[in-house]
Structure 1
Amino acid sequence: MRLAFVSPWPVARASSWSGVVPHMVHAIGERAVVQVIETDTIGAAPVDRILAGSIGRLTGSTYLVGQAVPTAQRRGRHLARALEGARADVIVAIAASQDIAYLPAGTPVIQVTDATPAAIAGLYPMFRGVHALSRWQADHVDRRARNRTYAFAVASEWARNSLISDYGVEGDRVSVIPFGPGIVPGTKARPPMDGRTLRVLVVASDWERKGGDAAIEVARRARAAGLPVELTVVGEPPRPLPDWIASAGRVARSDMSTVYSAHDVLLELAEANAGGVTMTDAHAHGLPVIATATGGTASIVDAGRSGFLVPQGTDGFGPALEALSALSRPQVWEAFSSAARSRHGSTLNWDVWADRVMCMARRAARLA
């Protein structure tokens, strides 16, 4: 089978889409003949560049160039030219609605995504304060992309439910296929929990959205209650951290596997999460996860087995503290760590993801 793999990011860049794109194209490439089409170099249409600047200056609102009609038309023309002569049976589009919206009818498209505009509206900073003209264009582009899509491979039930309830997409067109990790574990065996301290990790590149302050408060309460908790923060917090917290700052992706393996629990009290790749990374390294029940987290964490899901906001502080208390007991931690590794092995890995996407592709090719 011949597939066209369309990516708005460079597929060789380790950080593309939280690090999942290189793993996606590699796994698909082991199962099909793949032509990679990268669209990241396609510049915005001149009119969109002008509108982005003028709307920002005059209104203070955001104009989403990547979701604007003229730029989407430009990207669609580029993709159509790139597909000429490719003889692709199916197109696998990675979060590329802006690329396929104006693609002429023909080769079936499988769209891979972790969210919908309706699901993330207001949750992510880039989607706040968007100008009305830009919202209309984004909705128009997304609608055309949905109509051009044969089937969707989404990362969570949350995304699937939004496609069905918010947009009326038929349920048999949407398959939930969770992503594998962006940080793949090394070959070195993970050491067991030492039983003396619970080494808690917070990965918060986007401090506010990832709930950095909430995680620190829960860890503070745990220590005040006498729990043997040590906290490490990866990311750049907006203010100096207390002395009892180990602040790692920004960590190179090549070093993150070592960081995960040096800790026992991932604490992620995020306000919003779509694909939740850090949680998938954690499970791949045998870390139970304590996370807020938001977005796609329930499709990653097997609540009560591989981790705990807690309410958002201050209502979640108590349950998160209880979860830390439970995981501070070595036997409990070992059971949850084993379940996390099992979940990675059975569901949250790229072989499973690619096998299921290939099943969708073969079905689309047969029915085309």
Structure 2
Amino acid sequence: MRSELKVAFLTSTDPTDKTAWSGIHYQMFKALKEQRIQITAIGPVWDKLPRAIIYILDKISRALFKKRYNKAQNLILSFWYAFFFKLKLKINKFDLIFVPVGSTQIAFLNTELPIYYYGDTSFSQINGYYPEFSNLISFSNWESEYIENKSLNKTHVRIYASEWAANHVINHYKMPKDKTFVVPFGANINDHIPIFNSAKLKDPICRLLFLGVDWKRKGGDIAYDTLVHLNNKGIETELTVVGCTPPVEHPKMLIIPFLNKNNTSDYQKFSLIFKQTHFLLMPTRAECAGIIYGEASAFYVPSLATNTGGVSSVIENGVNGFMLDFEAKAESYSAIIEKYFLDKDRYRTFALNAHKKYKNELNWEHWAKKIINIIEDTLKK
């Protein structure tokens, strides 16, 4: 059956573009293609005109009402996509449509084909959870929820990156439990699997990594306080910050405002940083999935994060990291770091187990196999 499956991969972006949606669409499309199915990309869709209109609406809403307008989920984009995807679906005969994070793309799409939807959250869950989906004007709240509900009711099967996201659509949108599944994201690294850097076991400096564009949402203040606390305790520690410019400074903090993993030179820097890192420190305030934790595991780096959102579907306590309570402060993060950093044998086991979790669960090949198995088990039901 597998080789006979004809799948339409529906995205508004170009899934052969490594920069689209942080490379996630590219990795998904590539991984599914490697499962020997007949998969066709029916994106991208040109959408500069509707996006320009939406940009203006957001500006007006902010100026007049001090409220945001949801630029990702709205009727303008949704009707636009429905028109063009209906045309694109006529280019070939398909058995099903696979839609990664595309409620806006399918809400008004008229098709008889079964839709398999993959996501990491839904509107009512992220509304008020992420800053960019907070303080929306009331009409934007209404149309976003309308689009989410309408798109979910068009799907044959729903697959989510975490139990957190899946349970929400089951409970809030009343989606059937037997047609809702969980398959975590893979790690966005290249095909070369790293080897363990045993030299860092002899490194007298504890090297921490904070990686993200949003210092506040990712818990940067707690990461900074942890750096200060460890050094005050006499444990020489350095914190590398990648992806943003923090509002604070410290002589033991290295700042790299931007790295493009699609650039060979930048990816080599990214890889080298991870190989030298002892812990990924991300005390995030809000997180839907957290692909970065899988990437850390691939590089033998345990993660320290907050038990929030979908993090628990990626981090397994004591295996590839630890999740701390939302209220946890620098002292709690420091205690775990000290315990493992000072015991080299304990740390080595921790690092090797993190990589094992990546190889067994947190890679795109495993993700694609799980997706295909779900399709084969549910397509005729």
TM over 0.5: yes
1:93 to partner: Cα distance: 0.3
Partner of 2:9: 5
Partner of 1:30: 34
Task: Give 1:364 shift.
Answer: 4.1
Partner residue of 1:206 out of 191, 210, 214: 214
Distance 1:245 1:49, change over 3 A: closer
The farther-off stretch of 46-55 and 330-339 is: 46-55
For residues 325 and 363 of structure 1, do their structure 2 counterparts lie closer, same or farther at Cα, with a shift above 3 Å needed? same
Aligned to 2:300: 286
Q: Which string of whole-angstrom CA distances, capped at 9 and with x for unpartnered residues, describes residues 76-135 of structure 1?
A: 111111101321111110101101111114101111111122222212221111100011
| TM-superposed deviation, 1:65 | 3.5
The Cα of 1:204 is off from its aligned counterpart by 2.1
Q: How far 1:62 sits from its partner (Å)? A: 1.4
User: Are the aligned partners of 2:61 and 2:68 in contact in 1 as well (CA < 8 Å)?
Assistant: yes
The unaligned stretches of length 5 or more in structure 2 are 262-266
Q: What do the CA deviations read for 1:278-330 (whole angstroms, capped 9, x no partner)?
A: 111101111100001111111111102221111124x3433211111122121
* Distance 1:353-1:59 versus aligned 2 partners, 3 A rule: same
Tell me the CA shift for residue 333 of structure 1.
Answer: 1.1
1:254-275 deviation digits (Å, cap 9, x = unpaired): 2322321221210001101112
Match of 1:227 among 207, 210, 235: 235
Helix, strand or coil: the match of 1:356?
Answer: helix
Q: What residue number does 1:357 align with? A: 371
SS at match of 2:58: helix
Letter matched to residue 213 of structure 2: S
Residues matched between the structures, number: 366
1:230-252 deviation per Cα after TM superposition (whole angstroms, max 9, x unaligned) = 21111222435211112222122
Aligned to 1:42: 47
2: CA distance between counterparts of 1:188 and 1:285? Answer: 6
Change (3 A) 1:344 1:45: closer
> 1:19·1:183 contact (CA, 8 Å) conserved in 2?
no
Please give the secondary structure, in 2, of the residue aligned with 1:126: helix
TM superposition outliers: structure 1 runs of 4+ over 4 Å: 45-50
Cα separation, 2, equivalents of 1:293 and 1:132 = 30
User: 1:88 and 1:321, CA in 2 relative to 1: closer, same or farther beyond 3 A?
Assistant: same
Cα RMSD (Å) of the superposition?
1.9
2:113 pairs with 1:115: no
**What SS does the aligned partner of 1:92 have?**
strand
Structure 1 residues 263, 354: closer, same or farther in 2, change over 3 A? same
Please give the alpha-carbon distance, in whole angstroms, between the structure 1 residues aligned to 2:66 and 2:358.
Answer: 44
Which residue matches 1:88? 94
Quickly say closer, same or farther: Cα 1:88–1:190, change in 2 above 3 A: same
What TM-score do the two structures reach when normalised by structure 2?
Answer: 0.91
Letter in 1 for 2:274: Y
Say which SS state the counterpart of residue 287 (structure 2) adopts. coil
Corresponding position: 1:190 with 2:204: no
Q: How does 1:1-368 map to 2 (within 5 A)?
A: 1-31=5-35, 32-39=37-44, 41-43=46-48, 44=50, 48=54, 51-184=57-190, 186-187=192-193, 189-192=195-198, 193-195=200-202, 196-253=204-261, 254-255=267-268, 256-313=270-327, 315-328=328-341, 329-367=343-381
The separation in 2 between residues aligned to 1:81 and 1:185, in whole angstroms, is: 35
Q: 1: distance between equivalents of 2:107 and 2:364?
A: 27
Pair 1:293–1:228, CA change in 2 (3 A):
same
The sequence identity of aligned pairs, in percent, is 24
User: What's the offset of the Cα at 1:60?
Assistant: 2.1
The answer as to whether partners of 1:90 and 1:364 remain within 8 angstroms in 2 is no
Deviations 1:116-168 (A, max 9, x none): 22222212221111100011000111111000111111111111111112221
- What SS is found at the alignment partner of 1:34? strand
For the 8 Å contact 1:267–1:289, the answer to whether it is kept is yes
**1:146 and 1:332, CA in 2 relative to 1: closer, same or farther beyond 3 A?**
same
* Letter paired with 1:317: A
Distance in 2 separating the partners of 1:188 and 1:155: 24
SS at match of 2:153: helix
* Cα distance change, pair 61–311 in 1 and its aligned pair in 2 (3 A): same
- Give the secondary structure class of the aligned counterpart of 1:267: strand
Amino acid in structure 1 at the alignment position of 2:91: G
Distance, in Å, in 1 between the alignment partners of 2:363 and 2:155 is 24
The worse-fitting range, judged by mean Cα deviation, of 40-49 and 271-280 is 40-49
**Which sections of structure 1, spanning at least 5 residues, go unmatched?**
none
Distance 1:338 1:47 in 2: 50
Contact 1:90-1:361 within 8 A present in 2 as well: no
Alignment partners' CA distance in 1, 2:286 and 2:52? 33
